[in-house]
Structure 1
Amino acid sequence: MSAVLVTGADLAPQALALLVGHEVVYAGKTPTEEDLVALCRAHDPVAIIVRYGKVSAAIMDAAPSLKVISKHGSGTDTIDKVAAKARGIEVVAAAGANAAAVAEQALALLLACAKSVVALDARMHTGHWDKAVHKSLELGGRTVGLVGLGAIGLRFARMADALGMRVIGFDPFAKNLPAYVQSVDLATLWRESDAVSLHCPLTEDNRGLLNAATLAQCRRGVIIVNTARGGLIDEAALLAAVRAGQVASAGLDSFAVEPMVAGHPFQGEKNIVLSPHIGGVTSDAYVNMGVAAAQNLLAVLARQPVAA
């Protein structure tokens, strides 16, 4: 019985049902490279489903029968794709499986920033009533700029359009955009957006995309939302821009280093709303991503029969 290694502690029952006939091996919630190398040597999996941790060349080399690495989600930046290609190992992702969940989290963060939800809640719980002194931001009629117009970005665009926002977006790979999304270049996006939401994968080309220079090109008082990858943002530059008022507020679900540790400069910053990279973590998305990850790896194995 060939093995499938899951870099996590569980998999949706619906996904496991698809993998009947394979030995499913779990690595736990915080697997290290050493853990994964040891498990690969012990079980020689034909497939890896990636939930947590990174999959390096050393891990691939410890599994000579490995044919496919299947992401439990859409972002494959934790997989060494160059090493995989060199070894003839296919990398597949569950694109779109968590689109609704992540787009809803982006909207929640945008609304939390525009309406001061977290700050007003804290004030109310300590006995304050700020109706006479507080004014929230109205999003209707304002412009949101989306970097990335894949399944998640387009889902978010539809919701922003329903709020009456003007939606502009940058994505050199997007085709056949809906009428309510205006395609623009990045310079235009920075210049015209009242809010910017990131929905693109992290690559070496766009690492630090939001930095001191690009934040300075944005409208003063812009809202920044990131439910994609933390590496897209220069965190020190964002913090400086928030403190200077160039960025009114930021809603962040992903960070350069995860998990965030005590003492991170964002902690305690009143104009930054934080969530622990849970945009795609809903019960529905858990099933959708698990099933898609299993289906994707089985499709690859069907094209590349495993030697007896």
Structure 2
Amino acid sequence: MTRGTILVTAADLALQAVALLDGYDVVYAGKTPAEADIVGLCRQHDPVAIIVRYSGVSRAAIEAAPSLKVISKHGSGTDTIDKAAAQAHGVAVVAAVGVNAAAVAEQALALLLACAKSVPRLDGRMHDGHWDKATHKSLELQGRTVGLIGLGAIGLRFAKMAHALDVQVIGHDPYTRDLPAHVRAVDLDTLWRDADAISLHCPLTDDNRGLINAATLARCKPGVIVVNTARGGLIDEAALLAAVRSGQVRAAGLDSFAVEPMTAGHPFQHQPGFILSPHIGGVTSDAYVNMGVTAVRNVLDVLSRKGHAQPL
């Protein structure tokens, strides 16, 4: 007899994670599930838990699953989950916080270096037979200032990497205390003014949506670099596009976008000054396993506490 159904909003889950779900039916939503797909599967299978990898969980999905007890994020960001609806229906929302910190911080550093050193553009030029040594000047990061918005597990790991490059690290996070000596806490006004590069490592909330916008970019140093491995909604994309085209932003390294997946014809595509990756900062072989296992353990912990570990 099954203990219930676990819905995974993806086409797969690490085998090590699936092995922990013995006794449960596991249903996969597919590679790119839409909200309607999630709602339909909730209505069809009435899951006791949802593990969120792609897409999100709306109020409609929660209301379509009366047996639902927990929504577990396969990662750290829960902005795609309707937490108010979950709370109203007694559904716990949990996340695998910090599990993918190393992977995302490394992606942020890779994007920062690619922007400063023009790696993709020079690679393309070399493959086309050009030799730009006499005309190209890269940006040296040593001695410059990187401003971090968000100083959780990912932000602090990135700060440690940046400090090793002899970069001055300043950061803003109203919820973080006891920072390491190599990170100087500043207010946002100071960060906009002093940073040569800005890297985002904060969750998306109603208060910080569009934090990077025309007004804040205008207050930055000319030629600032912008890196985002957090959430696309933190950036006003039209404003960033205009700032890159004007030269106010030297380059933008982006791993997340306002609408995902990015569709053909997006204005960032084929636009000089943009280095793009498909929200894969946390997608490494190690992080895939660790996030899956943690997400499942979080589910099982909630279900056991709620008394749903026994066969139905």
Task: Return the TM-score normalized by structure 1.
Answer: 0.98
Q: Partner of 1:182 in structure 2?
A: 184
Q: What amino acid is aligned across from residue 192 of structure 2 in structure 1?
A: W
Counterpart selection for 2:256 from 254, 257, 277:
254
Residue correspondences, number: 308
Pair 1:51 & 2:53 matched:
yes
Partner of 1:298: 300
Q: Corresponding residue for 1:150? A: 152
Distance across 2 between alignment mates of 1:266 and 1:276: 13
Per-residue displacement from partner, 1:69-123 (whole Å, max 9, x unpaired)?
0000111111001110111101001111111111111000000000010111111
Secondary structure of the structure 1 residue equivalent to 2:7: strand
Instruction: Give the aligned partner of residue 215 of structure 1.
Output: 217
- What is the CA distance between 1:41 and its match in structure 2? 2.3
Q: 2:23 aligned with 1:31, yes or no?
A: no
Amino acid at match of 1:91: V
Of 253, 262, 278, the match for 1:276? 278
Q: Could you say which residue in structure 2 is the equivalent of 1:8?
A: 10
Distance in 2 (CA, whole Å) between partners of 1:34 and 1:280 is: 26
State the partner residue of 1:87: 89
Tell me the equivalent position of 2:124. 122
Aligned equivalent of 1:20? 22
Distance 1:36 1:272 in 2: 33
Find 2:105's aligned residue among 85, 89, 103.
103
User: In structure 2, what is the Cα distance between the partners aligned to 1:191 and 1:299?
Assistant: 45
Identity %, equivalent residues: 74
Separation of aligned partners in 2, 1:162 and 1:178: 13
SS where residue 110 of structure 1 aligns?
Answer: helix
Q: Which consecutive residues of structure 1, in runs of 5 or more, have no partner in the other structure?
A: none
Alignment of structure 1 residues 68-87 onto 2, 5 Å = 68-87=70-89
Deviation at 1:133, TM superposition (A): 1.2
Q: Distance in 1 between matches of 2:226 and 2:29?
A: 35
1:107 aligned counterpart, secondary structure = helix
Q: Distance in 1 between matches of 2:217 and 2:90?
A: 40
Following superposition, the deviation at residue 128 of structure 1 comes to: 0.9
One-letter amino acid of the structure 2 residue matched with residue 35 of structure 1 = D
Q: How far apart are 1:243 and its partner, in Å?
A: 0.9
Q: Distance in 2 between matches of 1:252 and 1:40?
A: 33
1:206 paired to 2:208: yes
Of residues 227, 237, 240 in structure 2, which corresponds to 1:225? Answer: 227
**CA distance in 2 between partners of 1:81 and 1:59 (Å):** 12
Gaps of 5+ in 2: none
The question of 1:112 aligning with 2:127 is answered no
- Paired residue secondary structure (2:131): coil
CA RMSD of aligned residues (A): 1.0
Deviations 1:115-151 (A, max 9, x none): 0101111111111111111111110111000000011
